[in-house]
A and B are shown apart, each in its own frame.
Chain A
Amino acid sequence: MKTYLSARKTFYSVALLLAGVFWIWFSRLPISAGFQTSIEAPQNGFQAPGFTLSTLEGKELDLEDLRGNPIILNFWASWCPPCRAEMPDFQQTYQEFQETDLQIIAINATDQDSLKGMMAFVNQHNLKFPIILDSTGETSQAYHVHSLPTSYFIDREGRIKDIIVGGPIPLSLLRIQAIQLIEGNQ
Chain B
Amino acid sequence: MFPVLNLGSISLPIPEFLILIGFWLGSVISDQKAKSFSVEPKLLEKIIWWSLIAGILGARLSYVARFTAAFKGDWLSLFSLNLAFLDSPSGIIIALAVSFIIISREKISLYSILDGLIPFFGIMITSFFLSQFASGNGFGTATNLPWGISLWGEMRHPVQLYFAFASILTILIILHPKTMDHIIPGKTFRQFALITSGYLLLLSYFQITNLPTISGFRLDQILYWIILCFSLFLYANNNQLNIHGITNET
Interface positions of A (Cβ within 8 A of B): 9-10, 13, 16-17, 20-21, 23-31, 35-37, 39-46, 144, 146-147, 162, 164-166, 169-173, 175-177, 179
Contacts and interface: CB of A to CB of B under 8 A. Distances in A.
A28 B220 CA distance: 11
Contacts of B168: none
Contact of A165 (B13, B67, B221): B13
A29 B137 contact: no
A115 B137 CA distance: 34
A10 B236 contact: yes
Nearest to B12: A147
Of the four ranges (under 10, 10 to 19, 20 to 34, 35 or more), the interface on chain B belongs to 35 or more
26 contacts: A17-B225, A17-B232, A20-B228, A23-B202, A24-B201, A24-B217, A24-B222, A27-B218, A29-B218, A31-B215, A40-B153, A41-B152, A43-B136, A43-B210, A44-B137, A44-B210, A144-B1, A144-B136, A147-B13, A165-B13, A169-B82, A170-B74, A170-B82, A171-B74, A172-B70, A177-B84
Nearest to A45: B210
Contact of A172 (B67, B139, B215): B67
Nearest to A28: B216
Interface string B196-207: 001001101100
Given A29-B218, A35-B212, A175 B70 contact: yes
A43 B108 CA distance: 44
A42 B135 CA distance: 10
Interface of B: 1, 3-4, 6, 11, 13, 67, 70-71, 73-74, 77, 80, 82, 84-85, 136-137, 139, 151-153, 198, 201-202, 204-205, 208-213, 215-218, 221-222, 225, 228-229, 232, 235-236
A26 B225 CA distance: 14
B232 A147 contact: no
Nearest to A20: B225
Contacts of A166: 11, 13
B218 A24 contact: yes
A163 to B, nearest CB: 9
B104 to A, nearest CB: 31
Nearest to A2: B250
B221 A23 contact: yes
Across the A-B interface, the 10 shortest Cβ-Cβ residue pairs: A45-B210, A170-B77, A28-B216, A175-B70, A41-B152, A172-B74, A146-B4, A27-B205, A171-B74, A172-B71
Contact of B210 (A26, A46, A176): A46
B201 A176 contact: no
Given A23-B202, A176-B70, A36 B139 contact: no
Contacts of A175: 67, 70
Contacts of A39: 152, 208
Given A23-B205, A144-B136, A170 B210 contact: no
A173 B13 contact: no
A25 to B, nearest CB: 8
B210 A36 contact: yes
Contacts of A144: 1, 3, 136
A73 to B, nearest CB: 16
A35 to B, nearest CB: 7
